[in-house]
Structure 1
Amino acid sequence: MGPSPAEIVRTLVAGRLPGLVHLAHRPGPYHVRHATDPEGRVLMLVPVVSDLAAELDPGAGDDVAVVLDVLDLPPAPGAPSLGRAWISGWAAPLRGADARRGAADFAAVDPTGDLLDVGTRFRLHRFEVVEARLEGADSVRRVDPAEYAAAEPDPLHAIEPELLADLTDHHADQVAGYLRRRLGLADGGTDTAPRVVRIDRYGLVVSYGRPGARRRARLAFPHPVADHAELARLLHPMLCPHAGAGERSR
């Protein structure tokens, strides 16, 4: 089992990756700093003196149709991409208490000091997602907005590069041995050592096989993990098999 399309879209647009915003009948696209609130609504932090602010035109009184475009950045060489998320809605500026709540939601994802200047140098715009799509290598899947809103971003996505680097730099032999056992691979031979290329709350994506003929497999966790601490507990037997055997023998 892996993440659903709705979960992938929520993960990609959460605010950890760069985003582009397209405005209906306007030039662009524009780079935008964004985050999502607990309901999945998109918050855009826009300098009041900018081309994007002028195009959003908060003084016009009408909401503006926008599309947020976020491309996944694979966390390591050879890692597969999660794809590209496209979500759209009608953006409106936030003011007063709404702006303060929006700034708090934005800070939960990205605690930038620029949020202190919302209302002076910056303005927050927000839109509820009315259409969502997930673009892969050879397909585009529509995601129901209600499923998108109910999904949760993956708690490991923001730290995935560090997790993979730690497995490679400090536990390469233990990881390779564990993966060979799980995949039923011969030890050594002509195959390149299997390695973890992606981690999410549901499991590991593993690359293995001979050079030029690499394959991928998913190894599922017993249950979805809630955070880094729970992941560490699940990976402990893989990284420290002898310690685990000693504990069982007591």
Structure 2
Amino acid sequence: MHPSPAELARTIVAGHLPGTAHVSGHPGALPVRHVTDARGNVLLLSPRDGGLAAALRPSDGNDDTAMVLDVKDVPPIAGAPSLGRVWVVGWARALAGAEARAAALDYADIDATGDLLDVGDTQVLHRMDVAEIRYERHGTLHELDPDQYADATPDPLRAIEFDLLADLADHHVAQVAAYANRCLGPAARPGDQPRVVRLDRYGLVVRAGERLARLPFPAPVADRHELAHLLHPVLCRHCTA
């Protein structure tokens, strides 16, 4: 098993990566702080007197403004493949009152930044309702169905992927290499030292020389605890293969 394009898109725009906004009528791109809520709608946090808030201020009598959020994956370590790039197209509007307070709680679930305490004062939240999603990887562009995108969930390990990879590299190099070579079977080459360069709920991606290979899990994992339980027989020095 492997992540679907909709799951990859939700993972990239979840809020752990920097993004830029292209706002209708505004020249150039603007850096943004953002997360996505449970349905994949984008929440934008910015200073009330900043450039993004000014660009998103409607000037035609409407209460929302067309924009595109552009987010590119940043591989967690050298030699890791990119998950791709996502463009989210929609309309952003400023939130106030109870709606802003509820959105701030949703934002805090992903990024509990102290600036959320100033929403309604020096900070403003915009919600971007999603109309179109374009996901690109390896030169292939996917036009995603908004309902499938909304129903997908971000990968639960993405926010801690770097820490998990660092732990494997620091403490479990030999065990990982032995496990990968067993999984690769005849495809394993003498002298290669496979190492894990990416991981997600569905499995590990290992690099052996110039080659990349996916080692799937028996079933998707939901969190770090399930991952540790699954990998324990592989990584524990006192366990047999």
- State the TM-score, normalized to the length of structure 1: 0.92
Residues 87-144 of structure 1: per-residue CA shift (max 9 Å, x gap): 1111011111100000000000000010000011011000121100111131111111
* Mapping for residues 62-81 of structure 1, pairs under 5 Å: 62=62, 63-81=64-82
Question: RMSD in angstroms over aligned alpha carbons?
Answer: 1.6
Question: Which residue of structure 2 aligns with residue 224 of structure 1?
Answer: 220
Matches within 5 A, 1:12-161: 12-57=12-57, 61-62=61-62, 63-161=64-162
Deviations 1:18-37 (A, max 9, x none): 01011112112111110111
- Runs (5+) with no aligned partner, structure 1: 246-250
Residue of 224, 233, 240 corresponding to 1:237: 233
Letter of the aligned partner of 2:192 in structure 1?
A: T
Give deviations 1:3-61, integer Å, cap 9, x for gaps: 00000110011101101011112112111110111111100001111111111115764
1:61–1:186: structure 2 CA closer, same or farther, 3 Å change rule?
closer
SS of aligned partner of 1:130: strand
Structure 2 gap segments, 5+ residues each: none
Instruction: Tell me the distance in 2 between the aligned counterparts of 1:48 and 1:81.
Output: 34
Pairs aligned (count): 240
Indicate conservation of the 8 Å contact 1:115/1:122, yes or no.
yes
TM-superposed deviation, 1:197: 0.9
Asked whether the 8 Å contact 1:58–1:93 carries over to 2, the reply is no
Separation in 1 of the partners of 2:94 and 2:186? Answer: 56
Q: Residues 114 and 185 of structure 1: is their aligned pair in 2 closer, same or farther, counting only changes over 3 Å?
A: same
What one-letter code is carried by the residue in structure 1 that aligns with 2:23?
Answer: L
Deviation at 1:244, TM superposition (A): 5.1
Identity of aligned residues (%): 58
